[in-house]
Structure 1
């Protein structure tokens, strides 16, 4: 197929759905009663993180590969990606017997690099951003006669991603709102094209990290300024698509920005409540609903969990920070008499209060307490905000000196969820 700059139609998306059927998963669409209770909206989740490569990108990549002619297949393909598109192209190219080269930014998460290589692709780590990697990939494509498979600015790729919109509305026709993450715009361009054709009055909302608001800024006619690190690396795109931006401008109602804090909270909620692992980009839709509750309250909202490829270290950090923010792990400092048995008395009291001690340290030098006192810092596990307050109240009632603790959690971070 010769690539054109024409925006895909719903007919092209329906053909893509037929073409890729049986080669990618038709992912589930499930009602989340707990998230609905927390947000005040009726929340449906589409689990694209359950695809074989753990992201929606398989749909567009496969559709593009299936449209290659014989000469293009024999020559091979090249792509640039921060990870999910890379894995999708690598996996399906290997299945179809097509050689693939992937250019990835130098700081791409390790799990995405390893998975791409495992699927048989040659990986080139060059460039600081996806845009720089794309320039390198285009150059190599020309030098080696390879077909460039763009992650979002390709009508066949957009059509493949649009199959998500068809499936979601087939499975949950009552949806009145779709909330879709935006990086370069391929996902929302495809979904919006499909959804508007099926249900013209549906509300379509895009979501970007406030640290990479390229499409949001472009729609507002502002200069594009991006670049700070974000946990939503899958949508950390500095250059909106030339093909996707006009589609977004025409079909999308609004683009919201979300904070790092809300992205972390959404990752933790999905892990704890839905028992599903998502990356930062995959949590962006829920983050938007949590951060802008009035915008969605009372509506039937579809969220696309677009990817689940997150390294274990950042996932571990999200979990730890989330436990701290919801006061399930707290650090308190108290002054105790500098006499034998005082530390044992403190830990006995904490045990009686059902506060589990995780870590404890005490010192005498770096404090303003009396010379006859020591400062003890205790990290404890509690059941949440109320339990933590009970512990502090009991310590003060026992006469402990200079009781201090971590700050209270943000009011929106409730534990148990929905409390």
Structure 2
């Protein structure tokens, strides 16, 4: 099976030459090098996430931007980049470790020393204390988490600074602090008769270090898609209700599975007073959901599941819990990227799987398990916009800079933020399923 990038190049070329193509993509701009987006943003003075699933999301003004990649890396062929990356890795040896997220393009994943989800990768880096540099082929919040958990001597590098996360950007520190102030005015700050606080903040791993620190400072915790249920149970033991951000869908799906009624899960829209709710609605709440979402997982629909079942009788539909509630309800099962991978690995008989998560991971699973029929629920190839900003050219650049004794694109988290964020992460680690 060809890589996602190869498929996009083929579709774009066929469309240009014939006016039609075998397959479709959400943007022909995906066929261009990410440095084209870097230049366009520099000329426009406006940050953007780039083509792909998040292209319609508005990037905050403070979104990190990548400077221009040196021309030699833009012009290099795939074969030349492969040679240079391999040579740089060999020269650096144990001094550098490369982490690759499940959603990263194959052309980058092939060089990764570890492949996994964001927290698996941050923990993987801990197994390489001798590494002077951790190159995180993922997105900005992941690199921040790696910096929090790694030693002060280790440099965490993000090959393209523009690889952010639109979901993480939907909950910024100022908006969450303002929300918290309004909630304290309604709930007060004192515990109830059972010693439970009025509200416990819970942030998804897909958030900035500043929001992880906010949770650490205010008695809260971090969760992943793997342990969200356990974390919510932890929070309910300590609080009367939960403020869950930034992903509304993971919060809603997890709380619903725990028996929380939908009417007790109001949405908080940071652009509205009291988040668009009445004081009574908030007083009656168990989980207050932030108005955030993943643009990749928002693309999946019940109609896609119905079509998969019609075309493939007996298909097993597995989706990520960042998908909308109706999609999770219509699927056979829902779980984290690691859950999806393990579910396919556990299938002993040839099975047809329709998967609702990012296309790079789905295609990789299809190649890894050829005895099964595995396809993405969304027929349109639309990768994570920001993961796609990482290209072998940027990886070659940061590696060769390291060989030359220079650290570029280092991600650092300040001491005060790091201390409180680490507290929230340690609480998460202690809350085992």
| TM class by smaller structure | under 0.3
Identify the structure with bigger relative contact order (alpha carbons < 8 Å, sequence gap 6+).
Answer: 2
Larger radius of gyration: 1
Bigger strand fraction: 1
